[in-house]
């Protein structure tokens, strides 16, 4: 019996040792070039948490960032904007990602976490929000449907219930719209996508969209679905559905071309970037170094797509730990750089930050540490 125990213990120990040696790395080799000259760079564990919309982009940034800082281990927990900011304000994470700018009270709370000054947010990720639909004979033929803001607002408020409603048909003289009922699909969970979408409706069609701004869907029209993935799969499954989702997730579904000025603009990353370039930076926010974009939903600029979500990274100017300060500065520098923005754009279909905004962000980064 004793001999057996010894043999078994030895077997278990060697199994664990084998597993450990096997598992020592497992890191992939980056697809492009090998690690660059700056192979040492930062080291340590750094954690971020926040918006799930930024997950793919942040994973791409982590890949790009660790390629030049091979000793740094960075984790990102896509727990949601609210959870991300809360965690950040406890001091557990180095940065937070959020679909909306900090509130005044959050800026005030950040004094406890940051070694000096208050936390600030900078836009890092611009995602066009597509109005997606699934309509037999239209979306599967690859056609866009033209709509102005008032029409979209009426559809999502349940005032327009048929696809061949005259107000839709007269904007689309080239398409024969079927007599199918419209099923609205919206997010059932709290979401920055919802917030930005209704912001657009409220700004561009104030007469037809009277609800208050919120991250929750405000009315009882249509059906809810959990997460972007839930919305997309619900829309894919039924004819006559319409909803809103991140552009990168649209896939084979049809997208609505939105009326801007006198023209209908198809969704594209460049068009979204144009809309942000035509927006202003909110100068009245409390707290230093903050760059909060006031998205111009009623833009009339050429080829500008006005339904855009701006997502932020939130950092402290100075941390208790100097390594974290250094990390946060390098991280933001990389993320808003041309390289960082293009890797995010190819990974997620996000729109690159326009130059006027990048200049402002670099001022804020320069004020760090």
Which residues would be at the binding site for other proteins (CB under 8 A)?
Answer: 19-20, 22-31, 45, 47, 52, 55-56, 59-60, 62-64, 66-67, 73, 75-79, 87, 90-93, 227-229, 232-233, 248-249, 251, 343, 345-349
Residue labelled with tokens 């009339």? 300
Q: Is 176 left (phi over 0), alpha (psi -120 to 50) or beta?
A: beta
Residue among 73 and 158 whose Cβ is closer to other proteins = 73
Minimal distance, residue 177 CB to other proteins, in Å: 27
Minimal distance, residue 82 CB to other proteins, in Å: 14
Minimal distance, residue 304 CB to other proteins, in Å: 20
Query: Shortest CA distance to 208 belongs to which of 262, 158, 275?
Result: 158
Residue among 63 and 285 whose Cβ is closer to other proteins = 63
Residue among 53 and 289 whose Cβ is closer to other proteins = 53
Query: Shortest CA distance to 240 belongs to which of 173, 165, 305, 326?
Result: 165
- At 227 the three-state DSSP class reads helix
Minimal distance, residue 20 CB to other proteins, in Å: 7
Minimal distance, residue 30 CB to other proteins, in Å: 4
The answer to whether the beta carbons of residues 364 and 325 sit under 8 Å apart is: no
Residue among 92 and 141 whose Cβ is closer to other proteins = 92
Residue among 64 and 354 whose Cβ is closer to other proteins = 64
Minimal distance, residue 340 CB to other proteins, in Å: 12
| Residue-wise DSSP of 64-117 | HHHHHSTEEEEEEE---HHHHHHHHHHT-SSEEEESSPPPHHHHHHGGGTSSBS
| Residue-wise DSSP of 131-144 | EEEE-TTTGGGT--
Helix (H) or strand (E) holding 233: helix 227-237
Residue among 122 and 225 whose Cβ is closer to other proteins = 225
């Amino acid at each position: 019996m004793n001999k057996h125990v010894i043999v078994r213990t030895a077997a278990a120990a060697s199994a664990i040792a084998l597993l450990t040696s096997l598992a020592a790395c497992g890191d992939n080799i980056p697809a492009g070039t090998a690690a660059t000259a700056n192979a040492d760079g930062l080291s340590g564990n750094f954690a971020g948490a926040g918006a799930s919309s930024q997950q793919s982009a942040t994973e791409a940034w982590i890949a790009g960032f660790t390629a030049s800082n091979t000793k740094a281990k960075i984790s990102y927990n896509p727990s949601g904007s609210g959870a991300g900011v809360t965690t950040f304000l406890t001091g557990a994470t180095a940065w937070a990602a959020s679909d909306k700018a900090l509130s005044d009270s959050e800026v005030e709370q950040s004094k406890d976490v940051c070694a000096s000054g208050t936390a600030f947010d900078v836009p890092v990720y611009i995602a066009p929000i597509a109005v997606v639909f699934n309509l037999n004979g239209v979306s599967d033929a690859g056609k866009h449907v033209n709509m102005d803001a008032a029409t979209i607002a009426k559809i999502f408020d349940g005032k327009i219930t048929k696809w061949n409603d005259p107000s839709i048909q007269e904007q689309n003289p080239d398409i024969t719209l079927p007599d199918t009922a419209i099923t609205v699909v919206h997010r059932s969970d709290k979401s920055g996508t919802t917030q930005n979408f209704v912001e657009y409706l409220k700004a561009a069609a104030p007469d037809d969209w009277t609800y208050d701004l919120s991250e929750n869907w405000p009315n009882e029209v249509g059906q809810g679905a959990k997460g972007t993935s839930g919305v997309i799969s619900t829309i894919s499954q039924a004819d006559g559905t319409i909803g809103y989702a991140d552009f990168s997730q649209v896939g084979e579904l049809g997208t609505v071309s939105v009326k801007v000025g006198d023209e209908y603009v198809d969704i594209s990353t460049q068009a979204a970037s144009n809309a942000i370039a035509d927006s202003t930076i909110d100068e009245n926010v409390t707290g230093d170094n903050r760059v909060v974009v006031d998205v111009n939903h009623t833009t009339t600029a050429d080829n500008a797509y006005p339904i855009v979500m701006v997502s932020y990274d939130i950092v402290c100017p100075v941390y208790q730990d100097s390594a974290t300060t250094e990390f946060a500065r390098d991280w933001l520098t990389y993320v808003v750089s041309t390289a960082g923005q293009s890797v995010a754009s190819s990974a997620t279909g996000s729109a690159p930050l326009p130059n006027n905004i990048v200049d402002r962000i670099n001022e804020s980064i320069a004020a760090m540490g």
